[in-house]
Amino acid sequence: DAGITQSPRHKVTETGTPVTLRCHQTENHRYMYWYRQDPGHGLRLIHYSYGVKDTDKGEVSDGYSVSRSKTEDFLLTLESATSSQTSVYFCAIARGFETQYFGPGTRLLVL
Amino acid sequence: GQQLNQSPQSMFIQEGEDVSMNCTSSSIFNTWLWYKQDPGEGPVLLIALYKAGELTSNGRLTAQFGITRKDSFLNISASIPSDVGIYFCAREGAQKLVFGQGTRLTINP
């Protein structure tokens, strides 16, 4: 298994509060991704990174920001959580962008 | 964006049956990927396809890259209980993957 962890694994928060999810890898892979998974939508890309301090938006980036200050960590921040951001969030890593290895996921509930 | 249409959305089968699912797109691509997601876990890559017409197997799984480069098929032979999960097709483009909506497979013993 690829060395990828996500924290926290579960979180309940209230509308309007900031939330930060962390993805940590031990594989030294260049590419890191954040997805959200919702019923009927599959996996949708939020943001991705192709190197330290190099990030770009995915298809559902509104309301989210990311940071990558070192190779092993990719942070996803919800500046002011909304109920529509209740979801399961997956981080993925890749040496080349095709073969992505996914983390175990974070279940976020925004009340 | 360039959407992938995956079908069927769900399947309910008996153990031992063969399974077939497919993914189509309006655009041509150079790579098709198939992932499986077990309940409560992240997706795992099953098969990657890189050439039109390519047929690749991974145990009881067989996937094909359509000759038109706009579709792909995944077949599972002699299904077993551990095949339960969600199967996703994906295509690559601009350092990213785009996933289909998934096919949820349920198996009755």
CB B107 within 8 A of CB B84: yes
CB B68 within 8 A of CB B82: no
Provide, as residue numbers in chain B, all residues whose Cβ is less than 8 Å from the Cβ of A50: 95
Average pLDDT of the segment spanning A85-104: 90
* B50-84 residue pLDDT tens: 999 999 999 999 999 999 989 999 999 999 999 99
What does the alpha-carbon distance between residue A60 and residue A46 come to, in Å, rounded to a whole number? 5
**What distance separates the 2 farthest-apart alpha carbons in chain B?**
42
CB B65 within 8 A of CB B53: yes
Give the pLDDT band (50/70/90) at residue A13. Answer: very high
Give the pLDDT band (50/70/90) at residue B92. Answer: confident
In this structure, the number of other CB atoms found within 10 A of the CB of residue B45 comes to 17
Beta strands in A14-63 (DSSP E): 19-25, 31-38, 42-51, 54-57
Give the pLDDT band (50/70/90) at residue A103. Answer: very high
CA atoms A84, B43, B90, A25: torsion sign: positive
For A95, nearest residue in chain B (alpha carbons): B95
Find residue A86's DSSP bridge partners.
none
Determine contact: B88 vs chain A, CB below 8 A.
yes
Q: Is B81 helix (H, G, I), strand (E, B) or coil?
A: helix
Q: To 10 degrees, the CA torsion angle through B106, B20, B91, A29?
A: 50
Q: How many CB pairs under 8 A join A and B?
A: 50
Structure tokens at A75: 């942070």
CB B80 within 8 A of CB B15: yes
CB B99 within 8 A of CB B92: no
CA atoms A24, A28, A32, A35: torsion sign: negative
* A28-79 residue pLDDT tens: 999 999 999 998 788 999 999 999 999 999 999 999 999 999 999 999 999 9
Provide, as residue numbers in chain B, all residues whose Cβ is less than 8 Å from the Cβ of A42: 6, 88, 99-102
Picking from B45, B96, B101, the nearest residue to A45 by CB comes out as B96
Please give, rounded to a whole number of angstroms, the shortest distance from the CA of B71 to a CA of chain A: 17
Average pLDDT of the segment spanning A22-33: 95
